[in-house]
């Protein structure tokens, strides 16, 4: 068992000073990358009037008479900028997700998010690959569809498999205890992804997973050719989930409907309802240009670059020392 450091040592940074210097270099490097691509930096507000609708995310709240929400990502604000005609933009700043604490999680973390006008998710994956390969000096990423991964590594089709089939598959992979805790179908898929697929992909080169089941679309548009899949991707490398991107949903009605669905799921999970950010809907009504966007965990990128096992090793002061 790891012993806690003596109380009088807790003033010290969680990361080595050398790691923090490399952190500064990494931030510099990212800004240079986007300057070269003519993508300009924006810094959206962290304390906004609306929170996130995603049923599995929560906001830290701050009350100043009216309630404000520390943002889980700059997505809503950036889409409003895009709708207002900003063109290609990126944001490099803090994001907050309460209760997310672990080897790869710190409730306050650094997120790089960017949007490309007129691009689809495949074009954006190419740019993510260029940035990640430049920083990590790694091999070119592989690309797999979500369905292909499940068929090859788990032995079932994630969209057509029955619930019974999924339960059996989880038992086959010795995930009985996980099965007991998971209610929703997407939780089961996510756990099979985590425990069965992730350890087998992205070891020697980063791995993009794309075209997720529509039920996991989040804010991605559904594919024109197959409405059962969403144009969403994630990037995995050496057991770390590094980025999550979408060919963005631009239809205001579809967006409003997803807000409603999120609140229905929240009700099922006995979680508080969320006031939907009507400013985002208005922005979409005014016209969000066709675009693709991605969010990338900067602390995790640095972990991979420095070969650190925990996120605390790359943070000046991790959650327990902040």
Which positions touch another protein (CB under 8 A)?
A: 1-2, 54, 56, 99-103, 105, 177-178, 180-182, 184, 186-187, 190-191, 193-194, 216, 218, 234, 241, 244
CA atoms of 82 and 289, how far apart (whole Å): 7
Q: Report, in Å, the least distance between residue 108 CB and another protein.
A: 14
Q: Report, in Å, the least distance between residue 33 CB and another protein.
A: 23
The DSSP call for residue 204 is S
The DSSP string of 38-85 is T-EE----SEES-----TT---EEEEESEEEEE-S-SHHHHHHHHHTT
The tokens describing 266, both together, are 């929240």
Q: 218 or 254: whose CB is closer to another protein?
A: 218
Q: 97 or 305: whose CB is closer to another protein?
A: 97
Looking at the DSSP bridge assignments, the partners of residue 92 are 112
Q: Report, in Å, the least distance between residue 189 CB and another protein.
A: 8
Q: 42 or 156: whose CB is closer to another protein?
A: 156
Question: What secondary structure, in 3-state letters, does 217-251 show?
Answer: CCCECECCCCCCEEEEEEEEECCEEEEEEEEECCC
Q: Report, in Å, the least distance between residue 208 CB and another protein.
A: 13
Q: Are 247 and 221 in contact (CB under 8 A)?
A: yes
Q: 83 or 221: whose CB is closer to another protein?
A: 221
CA atoms of 178 and 189, how far apart (whole Å): 11
Q: Report, in Å, the least distance between residue 310 CB and another protein.
A: 12
Q: Report, in Å, the least distance between residue 305 CB and another protein.
A: 21
Q: 42 or 79: whose CB is closer to another protein?
A: 79
Q: 1 or 24: whose CB is closer to another protein?
A: 1
Q: Are 223 and 232 in contact (CB under 8 A)?
A: no
């Amino acid at each position: 068992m790891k012993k806690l450091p003596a109380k009088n040592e807790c003033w010290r940074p969680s990361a080595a000073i050398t790691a923090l210097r490399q952190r500064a270099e990494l931030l510099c490097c990212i800004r240079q990358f986007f300057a070269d691509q003519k993508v300009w930096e924006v810094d959206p507000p962290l304390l906004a009037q609306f929170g996130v609708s995603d049923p599995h995310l929560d906001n830290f709240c701050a009350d100043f008479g009216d309630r404000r929400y520390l943002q889980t990502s700059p997505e809503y604000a950036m889409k409003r900028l895009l709708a207002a005609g900003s063109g290609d933009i990126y944001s490099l700043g803090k994001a907050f997700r309460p209760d997310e604490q672990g080897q790869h999680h710190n409730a306050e973390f650094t997120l790089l998010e960017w949007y490309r006008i007129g691009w689809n998710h495949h074009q954006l994956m190419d740019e993510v690959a260029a940035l990640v390969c430049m920083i990590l000096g790694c091999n070119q990423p592989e690309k797999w569809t979500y369905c292909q991964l499940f068929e090859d590594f788990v032995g079932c089709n994630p969209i057509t498999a029955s619930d019974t089939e999924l339960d059996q598959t989880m038992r086959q992979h010795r995930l009985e205890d996980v099965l007991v805790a998971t209610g929703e179908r997407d939780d089961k898929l996510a756990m099979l992804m985590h425990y069965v697929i992730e350890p087998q992909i992205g070891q020697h080169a980063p791995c993009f997973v794309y075209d997720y089941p529509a039920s996991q679309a989040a804010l991605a548009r559904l594919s024109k050719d197959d409405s059962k899949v969403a144009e969403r991707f994630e990037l995995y490398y050496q057991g770390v989930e590094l980025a999550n991107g979408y060919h963005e949903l631009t239809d205001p009605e579809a967006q409003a409907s997803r807000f409603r669905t999120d609140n229905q799921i929240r009700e099922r999970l006995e979680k508080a309802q969320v006031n939907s950010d009507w400013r985002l809907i208005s922005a979409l009504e005014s016209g969000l240009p066709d675009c693709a966007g991605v969010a990338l965990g900067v602390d995790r990128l640095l972990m991979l670059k420095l070969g650190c096992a925990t996120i605390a090793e790359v943070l000046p002061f991790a959650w327990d020392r902040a």
